[in-house]
């Protein structure tokens, strides 16, 4: 018997159950086990690591299920001093029961043996929040110097704060503007009820722009909307998406129209990109005509861009992590001259006078 015959003798068929809603996949075997483990362990982080998947992927799967169904599937609560907890809502439990009952009905064995990781490896630093290439560079360099393992989860500013609330993330990178006060980030510490468990370290400012294809002409965000160009949006809960809605609200007020009606007329508004690089690549590939991204990213991709404003990108650090993991060293690292020089080398970035200072503490 030759090697080919031996190989084919080892091939076995495997049938997997997939649940769909209006043509969209909501649950497969791995997603079902993610929900089951979240409910059992009370932690998205532990569930993700038990399955051996990145923390960001777990958030992405949960968000996708909830967006498709229009229902809250996973409840995230603040809890007491020991931290928050995640568990399935009533709708989440019904969905999970449906999956396993259908598996039983079709005679499928849903075994976690191939899915469960033998080693649940929690990183030394879990960095969650808004995507920023400079933050990735700074945190990676810091972790390398300190000999620490770091995992990045680009889940958006709001989800980053939720991860802090749940005692799962150590640092959240955020750039959230309050539409009323025009203040960045501090109002959201109160909104997410984490005033007693975090400090906020001033980071840097960065320029956000409207980036668009070189072969078209756009004079402003309003112009892009009026011409019916296709946008590539960011994921729900990201600071860039919140900033976009803030700008659209201003346009809607001037025009005297409802904001939701304005958003509904923008082709591609429901599209989502997880990172600034994804926005640029969607425009370059022709899948979109324009989107909001960093000036630094737009210029590196050869896109035309219109500056829309500067925003504060800050670091929210969980106090427990700050004390137990000696993250005061990160603050000192942020103040180093070589790091400040690196920030200024990137187009669109700048350093405020209070960079590296704690501007909020309980």
Q: What is the mean pLDDT of residues 197-214?
A: 97
Per-residue pLDDT at 116 exceeds 80: no
pLDDT-derived band at 79 (thresholds 50, 70, 90) equals low
CA 334 to each of CA 28, 204, 348: distance values in angstroms, whole numbers, following the listed order: 43, 10, 18
Per-residue pLDDT at 60 exceeds 90: yes
Per-residue pLDDT at 91 exceeds 70: yes
CATH architecture designation of domain 125-360: 3-Layer(aba) Sandwich (3.40)
pLDDT-derived band at 12 (thresholds 50, 70, 90) equals confident
Q: CA 248: distance to chain centroid?
A: 22
pLDDT at residue 236, rounded to an integer:
87
pLDDT at residue 249, rounded to an integer:
95
Per-residue pLDDT at 121 exceeds 90: no
Are residues 304 and 213 in contact, defined by beta-carbon separation less than 8 angstroms?
yes
CA 340 to each of CA 142, 311, 359: distance values in angstroms, whole numbers, following the listed order: 13, 17, 18
Which has the closest alpha carbon to 153: 63, 273, 72, 58?
58
Cα 95 to Cα 314: distance, rounded to the nearest angstrom: 38
Q: CA 200: distance to chain centroid?
A: 19
Per-residue pLDDT at 23 exceeds 70: yes
Tell me how many helices (H) and strands (E) the chain has: 16, 12
Percent of the chain with pLDDT over 90: 82
Name the β-bridge partners of 304: 212
333 SS3 class:
helix
311 SS3 class:
strand
State the distance between the two ends of the chain, measured CA to CA, in whole angstroms.
Answer: 73
Per-residue pLDDT at 287 exceeds 90: yes
Six-digit token pair at 114? 């191939």
pLDDT at residue 140, rounded to an integer:
95
Average predicted confidence (pLDDT) for the chain: 92
CATH architecture designation of domain 11-114: Orthogonal Bundle (1.10)
Provide the 10 A C-beta neighbour count for residue 30. 16
Are residues 231 and 214 in contact, defined by beta-carbon separation less than 8 angstroms?
no
pLDDT at residue 164, rounded to an integer:
95
Q: What is the pLDDT of residues 316-344, one digit of tens each?
A: 999 999 998 889 999 999 999 999 999 99
Q: Are strands 125-129 and 150-154 parallel, antiparallel or unpaired?
A: parallel
Q: What is the mean pLDDT of residues 15-23?
A: 90
Cα 177 to Cα 186: distance, rounded to the nearest angstrom: 9
Which has the closest alpha carbon to 288: 300, 275, 272?
272
Q: What is the mean pLDDT of residues 46-73?
A: 93
Are residues 93 and 36 in contact, defined by beta-carbon separation less than 8 angstroms?
no
Per-residue pLDDT at 141 exceeds 90: yes
Q: What is the pLDDT of residues 207-250, one digit of tens each?
A: 999 999 999 999 999 999 999 999 999 988 899 999 999 999 99
Q: What is the pLDDT of residues 157-189, one digit of tens each?
A: 999 999 999 999 999 999 999 988 989 999 999
Per-residue pLDDT at 80 exceeds 60: no
Residue 359: Cβ-neighbour burial (10 angstroms; 0-12, 13-18, 19+): middle
Provide the 10 A C-beta neighbour count for residue 353. 6
127 SS3 class:
strand
Name the β-bridge partners of 201: 315, 358
pLDDT at residue 51, rounded to an integer:
87
Which has the closest alpha carbon to 211: 159, 265, 281, 268?
281
Percent of the chain with pLDDT over 70: 95
The residue ranges of every structural domain in the chain are 11-114, 125-360
Per-residue pLDDT at 81 exceeds 60: no
CA 106 to each of CA 15, 18, 109: distance values in angstroms, whole numbers, following the listed order: 10, 12, 9
pLDDT at residue 342, rounded to an integer:
92
pLDDT at residue 114, rounded to an integer:
59
Q: What is the mean pLDDT of residues 110-134?
A: 78
- Listed in sequence order, the residues at least 6 apart from 283 whose beta carbon sits closer than 8 Å to its beta carbon are 211, 212, 213, 232, 289, 290, 291, 301, 303
Q: At what angle do helices 44-51 and 29-41 cross, to 10 degrees?
A: 140
Residue 96: Cβ-neighbour burial (10 angstroms; 0-12, 13-18, 19+): buried
pLDDT at residue 84, rounded to an integer:
78
E strand segments, the chain: 19-21, 24-27, 74-80, 83-88, 125-129, 150-154, 171-174, 198-212, 290-294, 304-318, 349-350, 358-360
């Amino acid at each position: 018997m030759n090697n080919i015959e031996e190989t084919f003798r080892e091939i076995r068929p495997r049938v997997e159950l997939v649940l769909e809603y209006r043509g969209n996949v909501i649950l497969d075997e791995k997603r079902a086990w993610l929900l089951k483990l979240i409910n059992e362990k009370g932690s998205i982080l532990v569930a993700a690591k038990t399955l051996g998947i990145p923390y960001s992927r777990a958030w992405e799967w949960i968000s996708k299920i909830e967006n498709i169904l229009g229902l809250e599937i996973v409840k995230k609560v603040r809890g007491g001093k020991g931290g928050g907890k995640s568990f399935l809502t009533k709708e989440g439990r019904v969905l999970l029961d449906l999956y396993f009952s259908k598996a039983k009905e079709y005679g499928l064995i849903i075994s976690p043996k191939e899915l469960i990781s033998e080693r649940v490896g929690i990183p030394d630093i879990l960095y969650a929040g808004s995507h920023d290439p400079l933050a990735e560079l700074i945190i990676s360099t810091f972790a390398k110097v300190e000999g620490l393992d770091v995992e990045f989860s680009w889940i958006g500013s709001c989800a980053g704060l939720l991860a802090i609330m749940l005692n799962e993330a150590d640092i959240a990178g955020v750039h959230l503007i309050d539409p009323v006060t025009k203040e960045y980030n501090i109002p959201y510490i109160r909104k997410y009820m984490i005033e007693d468990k975090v400090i906020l370290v001033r980071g840097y400012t960065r320029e956000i722009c409207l980036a668009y294809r070189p072969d078209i002409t756009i004079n402003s965000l309003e112009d892009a909307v009026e011409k019916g160009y296709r946008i590539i949006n960011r994921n729900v809960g990201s600071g860039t998406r919140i900033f976009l809605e803030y700008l659209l609200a201003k346009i809607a007020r001037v025009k005297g129209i409802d904001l939701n009606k304005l958003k509904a007329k923008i082709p591609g508004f429901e599209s989502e990109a997880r990172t600034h690089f994804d926005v640029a690549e969607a425009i370059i590939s022709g899948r979109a005509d324009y989107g909001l991204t960093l000036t630094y990213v737009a210029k590196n991709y050869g896109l035309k861009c219109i500056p829309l404003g500067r925003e504060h990108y800050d670091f929210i650090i969980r106090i427990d992590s700050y004390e137990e993991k000696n993250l005061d060293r990160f603050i000192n690292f942020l103040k180093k001259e070589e790091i400040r020089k690196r920030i200024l080398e990137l187009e669109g970035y700048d350093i405020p006078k209070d960079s590296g200072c704690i501007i909020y503490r309980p």
